[in-house]
Amino acid sequence: MDANKPKRVLITGCSSGFGLYTAVQAAQAGYDTIATMRNPKKTAALENALETAGVTATIDILDVTDQENIAAIAEKYAPVDILINNAGILISGSFLDLSDEELRRIFETNYFGAVALTKAIAPQMIERKQGMIINIASLAGLVGHMFNAAYSSSKHALVGFSRSICTELKPFGVDVVCVEPGYHKTEIIGLNANVAENFYNPDSIMTDYNRGFLRLMHKEIVPRAGKPQDVTDLILKIMQTENPKQHYTIGKDANFILGAKKLGLLGLLQKKALSKLEKATRREKRRLENRRNKRKKNKA
């Protein structure tokens, strides 16, 4: 490898959140940055961020659920020095209200997509006896998360995949790192947040709790979430580390919850979360009832 040639980093899911910020910071740090995303209509935010930062990156389209697209990108940008599997989707709601299609869609993107792209890129790294693969998982993949069972399970699978292949690839000079963030203010829990198609189904036994969870998210969890730049700062640090750890957790909530888990206090935290959920559900039911009564008065 030419020592004067910048390392090439390929990042997925760059239309927003961690992917967007990582692409910008990687470009600022001098990396040959390939920023990919599924939707060609969502390049504007990244383009604007790069322009504001005064740097450039190659933007390309990559659907990690499309095998032909993956093969084409892997060939087009070979050799890749650093792969960052960041693309992910979240569809909130009770597991009872998730359709089979929604469940599979989450796993196809969050887990199978990352595995497929890694399988396409890893041989390049093995041949050159060097490389790094960074998988962006989640705290939810370590401890679970109510009303996000499919997302949590897919990230749990990604954690397991990361910790398994790190040993397989180590003899070839390839480092595998798993990053497990807690809540941070990205679009996956904000503007890009999705709910299950049966989330508001009045016939579902979980509808009231779905609504309560959503209220809890917007009133308590999202306002306290960390800055996404903290995660991307960590990712950049990992990229520049010669012998990185196999996994990193980040976020005040992540540190607190994992600390409680080590002390055997996770059950108490779950009880507290359930209590907050029930309180939020009652408040949401009262809000909806008041709104219905107001509409009746206006019609009278």
For 85, the enclosing helix (H) or strand (E) is strand 82-85
**What are the phi and psi torsion angles at 184 (to 5°)?**
-135, 155
59 forms bridges with which residues in the sheet? 35
Q: Pick the closest to residue 232 from 8, 63, 14 (CA basis).
A: 14
- Give the DSSP letter of residue 110: I
Q: Which residues contact 300 (CB under 8 A, 6 or more apart)?
A: none
Amino acid symbol at 160: G
Distance in angstroms (rounded) separating the CA atoms of residues 123 and 24: 27
Distance in angstroms (rounded) separating the CA atoms of residues 196 and 199: 5
For 178, the enclosing helix (H) or strand (E) is strand 174-181
| 209 has catalytic annotation | no
- Tokens representing 263 are 């002390």
Catalytic residue (choose from 21, 151, 183, 248):
151
Distance in angstroms (rounded) separating the CA atoms of residues 103 and 83: 26
Count Cβ neighbours within 10 Å for each residue of 70-107 and write b for 16 or more, e otherwise. beebbeebeebbbbbbbbbbbbbbbeebbeeebbebbb
Full 3-state SS string of 246-267: CEEEECHHHHHHHHHHHCCCHH
Q: What are the residue numbers of the active site?
A: 151
